[in-house]
Amino acid sequence: MAVVSEKTKFTPPDNLGTKYRVEEVERFVVAAMASLGVPPHNARALAQVLVAADVRGHYSHGLHRLGSNHYGIAGWYTMKAAERGLVGMSFTNTSPIVVPSRSKKPCLGTNPLSVAAPARGDDSFVLDMATSVVALGKVEVAQLYNKAMPEGWGLDKQGRTTTDPAACLDHGFLLPLGATELHSSYKGFGLGMMVEILCGIMSGAPYGQNLNTRNRSSVPADLSQCFVAIDPSFFASGFQDRMSDFMDQCRNMEPVDKSRPVQVPGDPERANAQKVKSDQGITYHINQVRESWQLAQFLGISPLEWL
C-alpha cells in the first residue's frame, strides 16, 4: 500500500498502448523484482505465474499483483500436476476479509482452491476459485475499470451491502460463496474453513484471525498452502478418455442462449490463452497500463514496451 501511494506521484503519458508481448511482460516483472533485490530464479518464477494469469484472462491475479505477496492463480500449481497426467489440488489461506454468515466482521480469507484433471490431448479440467462469491481481485479490477459490482459480492466497512467497489475495498468485506444464508452461504464459509484446516491448521502456521491483514504490507503474510497430487491410473485405466467424454457431455448441453454455450472450468481461460496467441500479445486495460508505467518510474526500470 505504501508503494501504491508513492508511485501515484508519477503521471503517465497520454499515448500508452494496451497490447504487450508475453515476453515483454515477463521482462518487466523480472526487472521490477530485480530492482528490489529479488534473486533472478525467484523473479522468473513469479513472472511466469503472474503472466500466466493474464494469458488466461484472470487480470486480477496477473500484472495487477506485481509487488504484493500473492500466491498467484491457484490453478498454476494444479495445471503442473495435470500436465503430468495427475489430478492436482491446491489450497491457500489468505488474510481475513470474508464475513461468515451472521457475523459483522471477517474471520476468514477468500481461501481459494484449485482442482485440475487431465483429459485427452491438450484438454483439461481446471477449477480455480475463491471460496468467497468473488475473489478480492475482481473487486479491485472493478474499481480499476470504474465499474459497479453486483449486489451480493461484498459489504462496506459498516457491514452494509454495497455495489461500490471503492466502498468495499475501504476496509469492507466479501461474502462467502452462496452470498445469503437462504442461498447457503454457510457452504462457502464451510469450504473456506476447509481450506484453512488444510493450510494453516494442518501445518501449524498462523490461521484465521492470526493472519496479517492485507493492509499491513510491511510484515510478511506468513500464509500456508496445501498441495495434493493423485495418480488416477492407480484406480482404473482410461481416466483421460472419461474426462473428455464427461466434459463434452457438459459442453454439449443445449444452452439457454445459443450465443453463450455451456463451459466447463478451464474453458474460458483456454479461450483467452488462444486469443493471446493469435493476437501475439496480451491486451490490458489502460488503467493497468498506467499503473505499470507509474511502477516503472518509481522503481527506475524501463516501462513496458507495447506492440
Cα–Cα distance measured from residue 184 to residue 268, given in angstroms and rounded to the nearest whole number: 26
**Could you tell me the end-to-end alpha-carbon distance of the chain, in angstroms, rounded to an integer?**
30
Binders in 4-63 for a copy of itself, by CB under 8 A: none
Q: Which stretch binds a copy of itself (CB under 8 A): 51-59, 76-84, 96-104, 213-221?
A: 96-104
Q: Return the number of the residue (68 or 184) whose C-beta is nearest a copy of itself.
A: 184
- Per CB under 8 A, the list member of 141, 191, 276, 282 interacting with a copy of itself is 191
Q: Which stretch binds a copy of itself (CB under 8 A): 26-34, 49-57, 129-137, 163-171?
A: 129-137
- Per CB under 8 A, the list member of 134, 167, 282, 289 interacting with a copy of itself is 134
Asked if 121 is part of the footprint of a copy of itself (rule: CB under 8 A), the reply reads: no
Q: Which stretch binds a copy of itself (CB under 8 A): 29-37, 151-159, 165-173, 298-306?
A: 151-159
Q: Kindly state the helix (H) or strand (E) to which residue 21 belongs, with its residue range.
A: none
Q: Return the number of the residue (67 or 232) whose C-beta is nearest a copy of itself.
A: 232
Grid coordinates standing for 279?
A: 493476437
> How far, in Å, are 12, 22, 264, 298 from residue 63 at the CA level?
17, 11, 25, 16
- Per CB under 8 A, the list member of 47, 87, 144, 221 interacting with a copy of itself is 87
Cα–Cα distance measured from residue 3 to residue 5, given in angstroms and rounded to the nearest whole number: 6
Backbone φ and ψ for 176, nearest 5 degrees, come out as -70, 155
Cα–Cα distance measured from residue 58 to residue 68, given in angstroms and rounded to the nearest whole number: 16
Q: Return the number of the residue (20 or 239) whose C-beta is nearest a copy of itself.
A: 239
- Per CB under 8 A, the list member of 255, 274, 275, 277 interacting with a copy of itself is 255
Of 81, 77, 87, nearest in space to 240 by CA: 87
Residue pair 93/70 in contact (Cβ under 8 Å)? The answer is no
Asked if 187 is part of the footprint of a copy of itself (rule: CB under 8 A), the reply reads: yes
Q: Which residues contact 70 (CB under 8 A, 6 or more apart)?
A: 61
Cα–Cα distance measured from residue 3 to residue 33, given in angstroms and rounded to the nearest whole number: 13
Q: Kindly state the helix (H) or strand (E) to which residue 23 belongs, with its residue range.
A: helix 22-35
Cα–Cα distance measured from residue 192 to residue 174, given in angstroms and rounded to the nearest whole number: 12
Question: Least distance in Å: CB of 217 to a copy of itself?
Answer: 23
Query: By rule CB under 8 A, what count of residues binds a copy of itself?
Result: 67
Question: Least distance in Å: CB of 244 to a copy of itself?
Answer: 10
Asked if 236 is part of the footprint of a copy of itself (rule: CB under 8 A), the reply reads: yes
Q: Return the number of the residue (178 or 281) whose C-beta is nearest a copy of itself.
A: 178
- In the complex, which residues of this chain contact a copy of itself (CB under 8 A)? 87, 100-105, 107-108, 115, 117, 125, 127, 129, 133-134, 150, 152-153, 159, 177-179, 182-184, 186-191, 193-194, 196-197, 200-204, 207-209, 230, 232, 235-239, 242-243, 246, 249-250, 253-257, 260-265
